[in-house]
């Protein structure tokens, strides 16, 4: 049974805070285990990765079979039915077209002092993508992680996609091929993250690691951050739908369930100005749960973390949405753009009755790797910029240094950093000869 809240009720604020503070993340403490795995990989390299893969994935590998061969990849890709290949190719093209527009531009200018300033952008040299393994792995996540890296100009792009008991998802390998992934390793878990971060005899280290994973993968990403860059530590999926009562209740029910079916810890919330509409959506959810393939997962998510909130008006809905800062936000209202103007914090926004969040997961174009657990308040979804670095540029002419150098010298003296000030003064003195 989801939580029902009404902003008019006296206890609403307390109940809403409880909803915001509900802990949905996996509470299992795996950090000690992960630390040991990382240390083992750093010490023994390939041998540790091979031993851990045999232990956790029941798959025997050798240094020569850590990665799929080109022939193996081609053979698996050939198994993909034409209709699935066409859908994946369309998704790849749309994702690429969207991310092409994100490429930043270099800039240089001369300011009033005569100093030349600017910046330039460049890609990281190597990036590693992690993909959860087995037949349940998601080819859409490969596209969403790899294509922005390729658009950014990353020179070497590799992927770790575990294959428990040797089970391979051909669509994942096809997605990798379409996205410019150079090498696909059949390893997973914390050992894969460690191998990409520190390198082994046969796995070269990368500069940035992206992609979702279980608690062990998340803990490993936390531990290697600083040695390499990471995208984010993502929590359970979430969706907030704001509806004015003019939508089809069944549509909204399916949108809520589209996230609930991901994980028993996922969260689906409806905010509406129409209490009766909220009840109709709840009934539609119950009806769909009778037949949904993943009803056990979706049902648990809706029961434990689902919520229907009735508000006075859409302005109040917008204010509550910003406090939730949802990963996915659907605006199923008559004037979605007007409501959007009142909202600041959301990972991705889907405008209007005809834009289900699921379009964004696959083929809309924007990235589906998004901030969760209210982190949309301060972070953004994955983009081309995540695989690029900005380097600042500055050039002083003698005249420019004469104008601004004395202030730099004074500030250095104020901070008791003598050599800083002297490095400027030496040049100024040369100008005065």
Tell me: do 283 and 342 sit in the same domain: yes
Domain boundary among 230, 262, 295: 230
Is residue 195 within 8 Å of residue 41, measured between CB atoms? Answer: yes
Tell me: do 81 and 148 sit in the same domain: yes
pLDDT at 136: 60
- Burial degree of 204 (CB within 10 A; 0-12, 13-18, 19+): middle
Which structural domain range is residue 43 located in? 31-230
Tell me: do 10 and 105 sit in the same domain: no
Residues of the chain below pLDDT 50: none
Tell me: do 51 and 173 sit in the same domain: yes
Is 380 inside a domain boundary? no
pLDDT at 1: 82
User: Which residues have CB under 8 Å from 217's CB, separation 6+?
Assistant: 130, 132, 188, 189, 190, 192, 193
Tell me: do 64 and 210 sit in the same domain: yes
Question: Could you read off the pLDDT of 335-380 as tens digits, one per residue?
Answer: 999 999 999 999 999 999 999 999 999 999 999 999 999 999 999 9
pLDDT at 234: 85
Tell me: do 174 and 300 sit in the same domain: no
Nearest to 210 by CA among 357, 384, 66: 384
Is 304 inside a domain boundary? yes
Is 53 inside a domain boundary? yes
Q: What's the pTM?
A: 0.94
pLDDT at 373: 92
Tell me: do 203 and 287 sit in the same domain: no
Tell me: do 166 and 217 sit in the same domain: yes
Catalytic amino acids?
327-328
Domain boundary among 213, 230, 247: 230
DSSP class per residue in 383-397: -GGGGEEEEEEEE--
Tell me: do 220 and 244 sit in the same domain: no
Question: Could you read off the pLDDT of 269-325 as tens digits, one per residue?
Answer: 999 999 999 999 999 999 999 999 999 999 999 999 999 999 999 999 999 999 999
Calpha distance 188→194 (Å, rounded): 10
Calpha distance 324→349 (Å, rounded): 13
Is 375 inside a domain boundary? no
Number of domains present in the structure of the chain: 3
Tell me: do 352 and 404 sit in the same domain: no
pLDDT at 374: 94
Tell me: do 413 and 360 sit in the same domain: no
pLDDT at 28: 64
Nearest-5° Cα angle at 324, 319 to 325: 95
Tell me: do 54 and 140 sit in the same domain: yes
The CATH number for 328's domain is 3.40.50.1980
């Amino acid at each position: 049974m989801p939580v029902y809240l009404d902003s008019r009720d006296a206890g609403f604020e307390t109940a809403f805070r409880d909803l915001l503070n509900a802990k949905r993340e996996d509470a299992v403490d795996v950090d000690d285990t992960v630390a040991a795995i990382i240390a083992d990989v750093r010490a023994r390299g390939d041998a540790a990765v091979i031993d851990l893969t045999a232990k956790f994935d029941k798959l025997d590998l050798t240094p020569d079979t850590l990665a799929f061969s080109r022939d193996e990849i081609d053979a698996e890709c050939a198994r993909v039915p034409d209709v699935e290949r066409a859908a994946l190719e369309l998704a790849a093209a749309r994702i690429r077209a969207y991310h092409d527009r994100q490429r930043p531009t270099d800039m240089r200018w001369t300011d009033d002092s005569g100093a030349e300033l600017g910046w330039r952008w460049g890609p990281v040299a190597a990036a590693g993508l992690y993909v959860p393994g087995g037949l349940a792995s998601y080819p859409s996540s490969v596209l969403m992680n790899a294509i922005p890296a390729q658009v950014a100009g990353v020179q070497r792009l590799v992927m770790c996609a575990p294959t428990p008991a040797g089970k391979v998802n051909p669509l994942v390998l096809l997605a990798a091929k379409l996205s410019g992934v150079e090498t696909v390793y059949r390893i997973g878990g914390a050992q894969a993250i460690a191998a990409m971060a520190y390198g082994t005899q046969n796995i070269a280290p990368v500069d940035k690691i992206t992609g979702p994973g279980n608690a062990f993968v998340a803990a490993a990403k936390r531990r290697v951050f600083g040695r390499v860059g990471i995208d984010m530590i993502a929590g359970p999926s979430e969706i907030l739908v704001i509806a004015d009562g003019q939508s089809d209740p069944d549509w909204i029910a399916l949108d809520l369930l589209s996230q609930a079916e991901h994980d028993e810890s996922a969260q689906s919330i409806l905010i509406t100005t129409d209490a009766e509409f909220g009840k109709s959506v709840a009934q539609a959810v119950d009806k769909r749960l009778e037949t949904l393939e993943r009803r056990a997962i979706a049902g648990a998510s809706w029961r434990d973390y689902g919520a229907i909130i009735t508000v006075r008006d859409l302005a109040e809905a917008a204010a509550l949405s910003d406090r939730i800062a949802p990963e996915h936000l659907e605006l199923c209202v008559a004037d979605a753009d007007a409501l959007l103007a009142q909202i600041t914090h959301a990972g991705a926004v889907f405008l209007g009755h005809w834009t289900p969040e699921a379009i964004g997961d696959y083929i809309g174009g924007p990235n589906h790797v998004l901030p969760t657990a209210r982190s949309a308040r301060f972070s953004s979804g994955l983009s081309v910029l995540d695989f690029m670095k900005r380097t600042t540029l500055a050039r002083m002419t003698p005249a420019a240094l004469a104008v601004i150098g004395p202030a730099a010298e004074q500030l250095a003296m104020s901070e008791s950093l003598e050599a800083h000030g002297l490095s400027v003064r030496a040049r100024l003195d040369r100008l005065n000869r």
